[in-house]
Amino acid sequence: MLELTGITKTFGGVKALQDVAMSVAPGEVRGLIGPNGAGKSTLVNVISGLLTHSAGTLTLDGAPLDGVSAQRRAENGIARTFQNLRVFSSLTVQQNIDVASYTGTASGRGGDALLHEAILRFDLADRLNEPASSLPYGQLRRLEIVRALALRPRVLMLDEPAAGMNEQETEALGEALGWVRDESDCSILVIDHDLKFIMALSERITVLNMGEVIADGTPQEVSENRQVIDAYLGEEEHAA
């Protein structure tokens, strides 16, 4: 269980996060949505240890993460992808995955069979021996996710995985992530602006606005929440 209490992050005078509380249960998919600048990426950066929070506490399975380096957190099972792609373009797809496998704790969670299945589900099996630089954009994004899965994470954080994908690619991505949700005990925290995608995938959703949590609930609960409609969804999405 990943647990955040009172998380605050300031950049100079800007309060990017204010008193944020959130928990992600084992195996749960939690969506994180909100308008541009709401603090979503900052929150993922704080959880992964790229940024140090200004106040509050975060724990993984009861153990405090405060002061634990980003690398250590990754070794302890917190994996992530970035808004901008960060694969090793001169290595093959397989090598990219292997590097992550060696880096991970490989403590037995998941196992090779699960990783093999992930390569199939994320539609990379035909491209394993090709350099990552030869992959089209959608496949590169999927490679990033499989590489993160190769770390055998307990918590996988995805920062806008569907960004730049067409409807078909987004649908396929949603199906593959649904498989991760159903077949592994890995929790997923996913940011995206594609509401159809996020509503279908997430069991619970946290909504941030100007650094504060304004709603936390099932997709249906948050889509009917007046504050969320006013701050982010708008009447049209609500009606849809």
Q: 109 or 193, CB closer to ligand ATP?
A: 193
- When asked if residue 206 is in the footprint of ligand ATP (CB under 6 A), the reply is no
Q: Is 77 left (phi over 0), alpha (psi -120 to 50) or beta?
A: left
- When asked if residue 161 is in the footprint of ligand ATP (CB under 6 A), the reply is no
**3 in Cβ contact with 176 (< 8 Å):** no
- When asked if residue 174 is in the footprint of ligand ATP (CB under 6 A), the reply is no
**186 in Cβ contact with 16 (< 8 Å):** no
**Looking only at residues 21 through 40 of this chain, which bind ligand ATP when binding is defined by CB under 6 A?**
34, 36-40
**158 in Cβ contact with 80 (< 8 Å):** yes
Q: 184 or 202, CB closer to ligand ATP?
A: 202
Q: 150 or 231, CB closer to ligand ATP?
A: 231
Q: 50 or 172, CB closer to ligand ATP?
A: 50
**Looking only at residues 40 through 59 of this chain, which bind ligand ATP when binding is defined by CB under 6 A?**
40-42
- When asked if residue 87 is in the footprint of ligand ATP (CB under 6 A), the reply is no
Q: 52 or 71, CB closer to ligand ATP?
A: 52
Q: How far apart are CA 109 and CA 122, in angstroms?
A: 19
Angle among Cα 187, 192, 198 to the nearest 5 degrees reads 65
Residue with tokens 């990219």: 96
Q: How many residues bind ligand ATP (CB under 6 A)?
A: 11
**203 in Cβ contact with 28 (< 8 Å):** yes
Residues binding ligand ATP (CB under 6 A)? 11, 14, 16, 34, 36-42
